[in-house]
């Protein structure tokens, strides 16, 4: 039986045991991670936590809705058993009717048909690291190889245990200037999330130094057999010196020959997708499902904005 649980009814010990032993374990779905990115999240739970689905819920103008929170690319259905189209459909149909607007990102193991929902395919990009570094390097694009050589020629150096706030600061001063939908609250959430991941032993903050100055950084989040390229930042010096390809190559070098996936967290943006695929990575698909049951004029306005 699938039950809807409010936040205070969730047994987080059983929840995390389900996520950690699920066939599609992702760190985004751990209870402590959800507590940071969507405080007060609700849940759908089957029987004694055999299968679970987080409901990242909000409320605005008295209307309850579900939304994809920042910094949690994929959620959806997680299970200790093989996931079928029927099971995923049962979970979606069991979502309570008081959520008048639903927009959630499922995970790559939930790629089924969902009648009654608007479905959008999102691109994720992944690189298996099970081969030797020499083999993986041969699959890099010529542009990536050229930038790695440029970084070595310019004396770019790797430094670990960088301050996460320093990496976020580089992002805000450069790429972040053009991203208007990230608020001060979002950046505080991100810093809290990164520091928590580090404290729990899941994350590493790497930086690239050019002339002894930090010019690029990456937050790697590693759980079980998956390494997430969770957050990154570059300044103009990094772009001139090839610092980001250098950092990614250093990570690949360290973790080559492992049963691990380097998850670039995709991108629907062609330029970023091309960059990530330059490391020999392949596309995978995860779905966004959407349903608008808002009343009359509000529904029309929401669809118009979308």
Q: Could you give the domains of the chain?
A: 2-121+286-305 (3.40.630), 130-259 (3.40.630.30)
Flag whether pLDDT at 297 surpasses 50: no
In the predicted model, what is the mean pLDDT of residues 57-68?
93
- Reported as a single tens digit per residue, the pLDDT across 12-53 is 999 999 999 999 999 999 999 999 999 999 999 999 999 999
- Reported as a single tens digit per residue, the pLDDT across 153-204 is 999 999 999 999 999 999 999 999 999 899 999 999 999 999 999 999 999 9
Q: At what angle do helices 164-173 and 184-199 cross, to 10 degrees?
A: 150
- Report the C-alpha gap between 168 and 82 in whole angstroms: 38
The CB-side HSE value for 42 (13 A sphere, CA atoms) comes to 17
- Residue 180 burial (C-beta neighbours within 10 Å; 0-12, 13-18, 19+): exposed
Per-chain mean pLDDT for the chain:
95
- Report the C-alpha gap between 259 and 257 in whole angstroms: 7
């Amino acid at each position: 039986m699938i039950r809807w649980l409010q936040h205070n009814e969730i047994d987080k010990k059983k929840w995390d045991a389900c996520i950690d032993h699920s066939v599609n374990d992702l760190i985004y779905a751990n209870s402590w991670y959800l507590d940071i990115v969507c405080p007060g999240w609700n849940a759908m739970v089957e029987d004694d936590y055999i299968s679970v689905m987080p409901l990242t819920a909000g409320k605005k103008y008295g209307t309850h809705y579900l939304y994809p929170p920042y910094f949690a690319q994929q959620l959806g259905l997680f299970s200790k058993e093989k996931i079928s189209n029927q099971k995923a459909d049962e979970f979606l149909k069991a979502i309570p009717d008081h959520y008048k607007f639903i927009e959630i990102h499922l995970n790559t193991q939930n790629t089924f048909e969902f009648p009654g929902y608007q479905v959008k395919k999102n691109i994720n990009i992944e690189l298996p690291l099970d081969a030797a570094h020499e083999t993986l390097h041969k699959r890099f694009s010529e542009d990536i190889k050229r930038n790695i050589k440029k970084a070595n020629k310019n004396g770019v150096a790797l430094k670990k245990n960088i301050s996460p706030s320093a990496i976020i600061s580089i992002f805000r001063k450069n790429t972040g200037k053009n991203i208007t939908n990230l608020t001060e609250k979002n950046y505080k959430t991100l810093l809290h999330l990164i520091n928590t991941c580090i404290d729990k032993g899941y994350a590493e903050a790497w930086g690239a130094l050019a002339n002894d100055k930090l010019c690029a950084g990456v937050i790697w989040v590693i759980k079980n057999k998956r390494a997430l390229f969770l957050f990154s930042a570059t300044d103009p010096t990094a772009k001139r010196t090839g610092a980001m390809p250098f950092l990614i190559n250093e990570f690949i070098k360290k973790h080559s020959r492992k049963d691990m996936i380097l998850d670039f967290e995709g991108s629907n943006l062609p330029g970023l997708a091309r960059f990530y695929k330059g490391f020999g990575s392949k596309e995978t698909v995860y779905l966004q499902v959407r349903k608008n049951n808002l009343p009359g004029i509000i529904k029309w306005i929401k669809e118009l904005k979308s």
